Amino acid sequence: MPGEHDHVTRSRHPSRWGRLLRHRWWDETDTRRALDAAALARVEQRIAASERAHSGEIRVCVEAGLPLSYLWRRASARERAVAMFGKLRVWDTEANNGVLIYLLLADHAIEIVADRGLARHVPQAHWQGIVGGMREDFRAGRFEAGLARAVDAVDALLRQHFPLAPGETNPNELPNRPVVDGG
């Protein structure tokens, strides 16, 4: 019916434009305010320490807002996280055990994308529990603590399912440095 369609079309535009403005409003300065260089270095060190005990790879990506092309087509934070999972080559580890922890500040969104090697061992509810804990820290403005909590939780899973044998070392297939605002 024409009236119903018109109403739906009108109601979508404010949310699209509101989201567009919110994502354009957030910028790299906001990301650096949430996680300064020292905090990012500590997260990097935490990842490196974690990877000494298992064969998995952990990547962290924090973005202030989505690129315009994602906003225009109303892409979700999950869609962007999966794209970054590919772009950062987290899927390309020998044992298929890479994990991406993704934060989208403008949408207050947290996504964890695990490669199939680890995902087959971990129920979705467990991932949701990790995200829930992170969300508590982020609401309180404790971004570094939330990321530390997530890295530790992923570390525990990787130690359980992909431990290193005595004398074995992690090949460190991916950088440990968090990616900020797309790279």
Interval 127-164: pLDDT, tens: 999 999 999 998 898 999 999 999 999 999 999 999 99
The pLDDT of residue 94: 93
Residue 114 burial class via C-beta count within 10 angstroms: exposed 0-12, middle 13-18, buried 19 and up: buried
The pLDDT of residue 18: 53
Residue 174, SS3? coil
Residue 53 burial class via C-beta count within 10 angstroms: exposed 0-12, middle 13-18, buried 19 and up: middle
Find the mean pLDDT for residues 165-176. Answer: 94
> What are the CA-CA distances from residue 69 to residues 58, 140, 152 (Å)?
27, 31, 33
Round to whole Å and give the CA distance between 31 and 9. Answer: 33
Q: Between 94 and 28, name the one with better pLDDT.
A: 94
Say how many Å lie between the first and final Cα of the chain, rounded. Answer: 46
Residue 101, SS3? strand
pLDDT for 11 beyond 90 = no
Q: What's the pLDDT tens digit per position in 54-79?
A: 999 999 999 988 888 888 888 999 99
CATH T-level topology, domain 2-180: Diaminopimelate Epimerase; Chain A, domain 1 (3.10.310)
| Weakest mean pLDDT among 53-57, 105-109, 168-172 | 105-109
What is the model's pTM? 0.84
Rg of the chain over all Cα atoms, to the nearest angstrom: 18
The pLDDT of residue 1: 34
- The full set of domain ranges for the chain reads 2-180
The pLDDT of residue 4: 34
